[in-house]
Amino acid sequence: MTEPLVHFEELTGHGDARLGIARLEAPRSLNALSLSMIERLEAQLEAWEADPAIAAVWLEGSGDKAFCAGGDVVALYHAMKGDAQTPGDDFPTRYFTAEYRLDYRIHTYPKPLVVWGDGIVMGGGLGLMAGGSERVVTETSRIAMPEITIGLYPDIGASWFLNHMPSGVGRYLGLTGAQLNARDALSLGLADRFIPRERRDALIVALREADLSRPAAAVAEVLGRFEHREQAPPGQVLAHFDTLQALVDVADVAEAVRRILDDTRDDAWLAANRARLAAGCPVTAYLVWEMQARHRHTSLADAFRDELNLSVQCTRHADLAEGVRALLIDKDKQPRWSHRDVAAVPRADVDDFLAPLWAPEEHPLRAL
């Protein structure tokens, strides 16, 4: 079967300035990121960065359902299970290293990089979107870090950017995998613009017609003309802001989980979040709490380096493979986690996940 790829094109605009278009081309998997896709996108962004004719970059997903639903956890599952079709025992290290290097490049990209966050934006998809210089959401945007459902944890820089949200909100989102809409993304700093989906083609034309001699200002001006925030759906996070903060305003993750699960408010969004946490991986809850505590005041690069260590460690423990099996392989949605609940997780088990795999001078992301 042909490996899903990323489609690239360059559109000539005003004064021969060019707009680089990158489109994730795996709509059947909701544009989930394979290692090949990551590597191709990284190489093209590097080339466009060095090309003076490329004034700005546009990143989007193919199809009408998703920008990107996450990383290729099915490939990681096969690697963890020793599937001979998986290229090498070091696949998890190669995969996460490439993914985080790409995400860091997007965060630090020197040219305007517009991310069209239409449809599902989850996990690794949010990793691509979070670092864009102009992050656009639409009426269909559905954003989440749902790793608690598979036994991973919010990675792709989330240990850093969840800490930049109002106190407690990042912890709540990580523990529950809560789904956000466009208004929530704008309120929490995960998006910069709301533009209706139907305006996409006209927006591309306007960018091509703009004077891109001052790219950042020109791109911002065009996006501003197309923005219609009054059409964004009502938010969910701010409506429950005090509740979310109160639920996690404790020093201990087990107590925060107990508070969330014991909350009896009759609200569909809160109830869905409770159910996700109740069925989720107990170790993940600890990792959410721990990683946000560790990276409250660190740099983005430090967070990525720590996440690489933890993500590879997750592939060497049982829960991640079990979570992917239950959700995406056998699809029975009955994961058998290694601990019955959060209160039953010993501190020693958490420390085992956090144990360093490399000396600082040998770390694969030491150059960030």
pLDDT score of 351? 97
pLDDT score of 82? 86
Residues 6+ apart with CB under 8 A from 6: 22, 23, 24, 25, 37, 40, 41, 44
pTM: 0.96
pLDDT score of 3? 59
pLDDT score of 85? 52
pLDDT score of 323? 98
pLDDT score of 146? 96
**Residuewise pLDDT in 10s, the chain (368 residues):** 455 589 999 999 988 899 999 999 999 999 999 999 999 999 999 999 999 999 999 999 999 999 999 999 999 999 999 875 554 469 999 999 999 999 999 999 999 999 999 999 999 999 999 999 999 999 999 999 999 999 999 999 999 999 999 999 999 999 999 999 999 999 999 999 999 999 999 999 999 999 999 999 999 999 999 999 999 999 999 999 999 999 999 999 999 999 999 999 999 999 999 999 999 999 999 999 999 999 999 999 999 999 999 999 999 999 999 999 999 999 999 999 999 999 999 999 999 999 999 999 999 999 99
All domains in the chain, ordered by first residue: 5-362 (3.90.226.10)
